[in-house]
Amino acid sequence: MDSLQGFEPLLIVMLWLLISVYSRVALQRRWRTSASPAPAPASRSLRLRWEQAGERYRRLAGEYAGYESDPLEVLRLPALADPAVPATARFIEAFSEAMALRTEEYPPEPMAREFVDATARAEQAWTAAREAAEKLRASRFTAEERGLLAQAVKLLELAHRGATPAEQEAAYAAARQVLARLERSAGTRLDWRVPARARQVVDREGKPPLPPS
């Protein structure tokens, strides 16, 4: 009995160590579980909506860029290039907001929600702006300016159908002159200009090809 009594302090120490180790391991497991929880269903749903909004944003950006890069489309729907038209101004504002919220990586949830909502507003504004432009057409221009619009459209169509590079170059050169007159005239009343991308297309296509080196 005396010999067993000598071991009692050692047994108590070992038991205390075992309890301490077990408690530490349990706490670490609990901390790991709480530190990296599985995504909640609402979080997964938001991420999916954010990804879908990103696809819709890219499609919308492509449509807008396509319009601004197409001189014929700009002349057929000039109100889409006029920020003084209320529907166009609302689209530009909504699209700029969505563009500012667009990120390549998944952002914090509040920002993801804002991007989803902003993209939806931009899509609605784009549809409304196109509908307004279809109704307005060239009605904001004077009779003389409408004649210049029609002349520029014919010249650009002729340039596309030109049988020879010389014919195309001549048609583009004439179109540039007509567009310059149109901008000077309309610019005194309207906040309208041919978008830079469309202007670059006319300038680039209208230049003769460089001789082979």
d(CA 147, CA 156): 14
Confidence of residue 209 (pLDDT cuts 50, 70, 90): low
Whether residue 36 is contained in a domain is answered as: no
Q: Cα(156)–Cα(124) distance, rounded to whole angstroms?
A: 31
| 132 shares a domain with 49 | yes
Is residue 62 in a domain?
Answer: yes
Q: Are residues 126 and 149 in the same domain?
A: no
Tokens of 7: 């071991």
The answer, yes or no, to whether residue 199 has pLDDT greater than 80, is: yes
Q: What is the mean pLDDT of the chain?
A: 86
Residue 16 has what pLDDT? 46
* 111 and 158 belong to one structural domain: no
pLDDT of 192 reads 95
184 and 117: one domain?
no
**97 in a structural domain:** yes
**Does residue 9 sit within a domain?**
no
Question: Got the DSSP string for 14-62?
Answer: HHHHHHHHHHHHHHHHHHHHHHSPPPPHHHHHHHHHHHHHHHHHHHHHH
Give pLDDT, residue 38: 55
- Segment 142-151, tens digit of pLDDT: 999 999 999 9
Q: Choose the final residue of a domain: 89, 108, 136.
A: 136
Q: What is the pLDDT of residues 53-95, one digit of tens each?
A: 999 999 999 999 999 999 999 999 999 999 999 999 999 999 9
Whether 168 and 128 map to the same domain: the answer is no
- The answer on pLDDT for 49 being more than 90 is yes
* The two structure tokens encoding residue 87: 């529907």
Last residue of a domain, one of 114, 136, 158: 136
- Give the pLDDT confidence of 8-42 residue by residue, as tens digits: 544 444 554 455 445 544 434 544 444 445 556 77
The answer to whether the beta carbons of residues 174 and 155 sit under 8 Å apart is: yes
- Does one domain contain both 52 and 126? yes
Kindly state the average pLDDT of the residues 165-170: 92
Q: How much is the pLDDT for 7? A: 46
Answer yes or no: is pLDDT of 4 > 60.
Answer: no
pLDDT value of residue 75: 98
Cβ-contact 93, 121 below 8 angstroms:
no
Answer yes or no: do 73 and 57 share one domain.
Answer: yes
Domain termination site, one of 82, 116, 136? 136
Q: Which residue has the tokens 């991308």?
A: 197
Inform me whether the pLDDT recorded for 172 exceeds 80: yes
Residues 169 and 86 occupy one common structural domain: no
Whether residues 56 and 131 fall in one domain = yes
Q: Would 28 be classed as within a structural domain?
A: no
In a domain, 81, yes or no: yes
Would 38 be classed as within a structural domain?
no
Compute the 3-state secondary structure of the chain and give helix, strand, coil in percent, each to the nearest 5: 80, 0, 20
Nearest Cα residue to 57 out of 109, 117, 111, 128: 117
pLDDT attached to residue 48 = 97
The two three-digit tokens of residue 124, written as one number:
């609605």
Q: What percent of the chain has pLDDT over 90?
A: 71
How many separate domains does the chain show? 2
Domain housing 68: 44-136
Q: Tell me, what amino acid is at 75? A: L
Both 108 and 48 in one domain: the answer is yes
Distances (CA, A) of 58 to 45, 55, 123, 128, 151: 20, 5, 11, 18, 34
pTM for this entry: 0.77
Same domain, 174 and 128: no
pLDDT for residue 115 is more than 60: yes
pLDDT at residue 28, rounded to an integer: 45
